[in-house]
Structure 1
Amino acid sequence: MHGTTHQIGTFVKTGAPQIIEILGGAGLHFAVIDAEHAPFDRSTLDIMVIAARSVGLPLFVRIPDMQAATIQSALDLGVSGLLVPHVDSGDDARRLVARTRFLDGERGFSSSPRFAGYGAMGMKRAVDAGNSTTVICQIESRAGCAAAREIADVDGVAGLFVGRADLALSFGLTDARAPDVMRATVDVLAIARDVGKTGGVALGDARECEEFAQMGATWFVIGSDQSLLRKGALGLMA
């Protein structure tokens, strides 16, 4: 995750494993299952992870909430990491990380899920693997911006991800490019860079990458499977 190498991914909002296979075959660096805003149950997520592993595509999941059971379910399935919405304070971040960790945390252990090789890894290797889970916190409120440095400083937080749409709403705005939102984005990405963590953004178009890379972003979630399909369809009709 760390370093200046740019990572390009997209959100996946459709519960079909073939989409993951296609994205992996196209060479994306990662994909993010959007379980916050799209309909993914545990069984569907399970199949998506199998597809991701089949093409070597790191698969993150944007979880819908910070409940311990939600976190454990995603991690037991063997996802590469979590993108966590609405992390608004250092306490949120500490609680979140604790729920992803076996040692010095509160994650329940079983050696039987996929993440532990269905029992093949043994307890020590499985615990070590679980304790290195990548956790990226979404900063998407005034409170989150104010607490961004404290959140970034939490051991176990791998990065900060600016959710500009919800951030705009928290400012009472409906424009993700409004000056207040862009200033906040610059500030949060600077904090991530300063503490050696990953800075991420969601973008609608790959042409925006350079602008946000200048601000220090290195982890780009560009559009979604649905927007890619829609652009392709509109292109046909043009």
Structure 2
Amino acid sequence: MQGSLREALRGDGLVLCLALMNARTPDVPAIAAACGYDAVYVDLEHTSTSLETASMLCAGAVGAGISGLVRVPSHDPSVIARVLDGGAVGVIVPHVNSVGEADAIVDATRFPPLGRRSISGPNAVSGYGQRSATDLTEFLDARTVVAVMIETPEAVADCEGISAVAGVDIVLIGASDLTAEMGIHGQYENAHFHHAVESVAAACRTHGVALGMAGIKSLDLLERFVGEGLRFISAGTDVGMMTEAATTRARALRGLEP
């Protein structure tokens, strides 16, 4: 990816991200880059991956010329700080249900005066070069991506306010959890789900925030949401893509049996 992820999110193109659930080695981001992805995110919400491994994978992403993000397991500001200090270019924060929660996340991710992130030192994102404290914080703040996940009807109802929070870059719809909370789990063609997406998309357009989507495989649906302003797509997981491709190949080979 040429330029920063934040710059790409402000453009008209799509940002494609691969979720790393089972990957534990730094060559995987390079493989993702070779396959055409713009970013990877390391999932700490649904896996046993350590902060150390997440840092290594994010460093691998930097080396591969793509962006490395981390989905943190909670809103804990100490975890968010360690992830960013460890070399993630951004965080994906799950289950953000209100303006107050979005404000707290910005506090944890942005340096003063916008936030309260503690100033550490150079890392993989800054290239480890010598910089003054002011230059370093300006450099990192300009590149740090903050994604908040909308996964409940309450969050959809407050999407206008959440999208308006200064310092938020992506409002990411978690389709699986959202439809589950709506009582229509997995029914991505349901009109109530589409109305929720339209509401969030409109809020994102109003406030100049990128709309993101996770959990949708249908190209037809994604094309529809691109028409609504979708810019960031969580395209799938490492284990999901491996099992899908491996299953397809095994079935084809079984068809050769006499």
TM range (shorter): over 0.9
Which letter maps to 1:186?
E
Q: CA deviation at 1:16?
A: 2.4
Q: Using the aligned pairs only, state the percent identity.
A: 25
Q: CA deviation at 1:194?
A: 2.1
Q: 2:88 aligns with which of 67, 79, 90?
A: 79
Kindly indicate whether residue 207 of structure 2 is the aligned counterpart of residue 195 of structure 1. Answer: yes
Deviations 1:105-134 (A, max 9, x none): 221112254445446222112111232321
- Answer yes or no: is the 8 Å Cα contact 1:115–1:126 preserved in 2: no
- Answer yes or no: is the 8 Å Cα contact 1:64–1:85 preserved in 2: yes
Which letter maps to 2:177?
D
SS at match of 2:169: strand
Cα distance in 1 for residues equivalent to 2:35 and 2:191: 35
Which letter maps to 2:14?
H
Matches within 5 A, 1:27-106: 27-104=36-113, 105-106=115-116
- Answer yes or no: is the 8 Å Cα contact 1:9–1:28 preserved in 2: yes
Which letter maps to 1:161?
L
What's the counterpart of residue 173 of structure 1? 184
Deviations 1:197-223 (A, max 9, x none): 100101443624312212221111111
Specify every segment of 5 or more residues in structure 2 that has no aligned partner in the other structure, as ranges: 1-8, 252-258
Kindly indicate whether residue 219 of structure 2 is the aligned counterpart of residue 207 of structure 1. Answer: yes
Q: 2:198 aligns with which of 164, 186, 196?
A: 186
Q: 1:19 aligns with which of 23, 28, 47?
A: 28
Which letter maps to 1:26?
C
SS at match of 2:198: helix
Cα distance in 1 for residues equivalent to 2:92 and 2:182: 22
Q: 2:140 aligns with which of 113, 119, 130?
A: 130
Q: Give the total of aligned pairs.
A: 238
Which letter maps to 1:160?
V
SS at match of 1:226: helix
Q: Find runs of 4+ consecutive structure 1 residues off by over 3 angstroms.
A: 112-119
TM-score normalised by L of structure 1 = 0.93
After superposition, the Cα gap between the structure-2 partners of 1:119 and 1:56, relative to the gap in structure 1 and judged at 3 Å, is: closer
